[in-house]
A = this chain, B = another copy of it.
Amino acid sequence: MSWNTFGRAFRFTTWGESHGPALGVVVDGCPPGLMLDEAAIQPFLDARRPGQSKFTTQRQEADQVRILSGVFEGRTTGTPISLMIENTDQRSKDYSEIAKAYRPGHADYAYDAKYGVRDYRGGGRSSARETAARVAAGAIARLAIPEVEVLAYVSEIGGDAIDHANFDAAEIANNPFFCPDAEAAKRWEALVDDARKAGSSLGAVVECVAKGVPAGWGAPVYAKLDSDLAAAMMTINATKGVEIGDGFAAARLSGEENADEMRSGEGAGPEFLANHSGGVAGGISTGQPVVCRVAFKPTSSILTPRKSVTSDGEETEVRTKGRHDPCVGIRGAPVVEAMMALVLADHKLLHRAQCG
């Protein structure tokens, strides 16, 4: 897990910038013999794809994935799987203005301070376009954990949360917000549209639940399943917080309330009477659903002018005119889902390395 690689046993390395010719990912350590072709990956990329509604950026990218290695006669061979997605709509435009000004909320200044050089076109490597590569890798991770069902959805936009009583998984694909609550989705249409028209932007919270994870994945102390999930989620652009199970709310419970009591189960392990822990105890899965929640800040690229400086130290104002998501958290849902699958695939392999 360093620089641009994530994972220990099921590992992936992404590359590519927002406005370069292409981006991609190399997946290494994938089990052999899995059925894999582009069609198994494309639907996940399509879900994340921009330009599909007025609530996401109008950048038009086909996001067609191409498998360049690691698959033979329709099956993974155990050797590295190289995936490439060409950038097709990296509009050539005049960057002279943005080239010098540091956009507030963006990584522009931090990159310059670190590297002394940066690709200012669309944020370069710091662009959320990189997440397409993860989503592609995540599609492969899913194949490695057929016993697990992973589902992510947006649970809150601009402070307006879904009502879990209205939860309907089937609803998620029915609206442009990955929202499982039809009523909330309706409210969000106005909310996001208003923000967009006002040249503003909104934050969001994405929830992710993985069902079918057997007890025993994860490891003490620095390979904890929840620690790896937190790391994974915090690598996604615009994320500022992660919760496992009850998260910060757990800090407000009493010990009695928080205890996940058990009774005799019908299956291999005990039956839990609650899941405050979010399916992880001591860094190891308990067999309950693994639950995590991720906070996305509002999109930093807004039309409203903000004070800033240039790389020469001149004061200036920045308005980001380009095509941007009014709520970057929306398209975060497929990315959170992919990261959950990737972490779980990694831990499945790690578990059988040590425990057979």
Contact = CB atoms under 8 A, between A and B. Distances in A.
Interface stretch (A40-48, A109-117, A177-185): A109-117
Interface residues of A, number: 156
Contacts of A240: 226, 243-248, 250-251, 277-278
Q: How many protomers of this protein does the assembly include?
A: 4
Given A113-B216, A200-B255, A4 B16 contact: no
A256 interface: yes
A62 interface: no
Nearest to A252: B159
22 contacts: A2-B28, A3-B11, A3-B80, A17-B79, A77-B117, A77-B119, A78-B114, A78-B355, A105-B255, A106-B281, A110-B280, A113-B214, A200-B255, A201-B254, A203-B252, A222-B235, A237-B282, A243-B295, A250-B297, A253-B297, A264-B313, A273-B307
Given A200-B256, A353-B9, A234 B241 contact: no
Contact of A231 (B21, B228, B244, B252): B228
A105 B200 contact: no
Interface stretch (A53-61, A66-74, A145-153, A168-176): A66-74
A264 B315 contact: yes
A298 interface: yes
A20 to B, nearest CB: 5
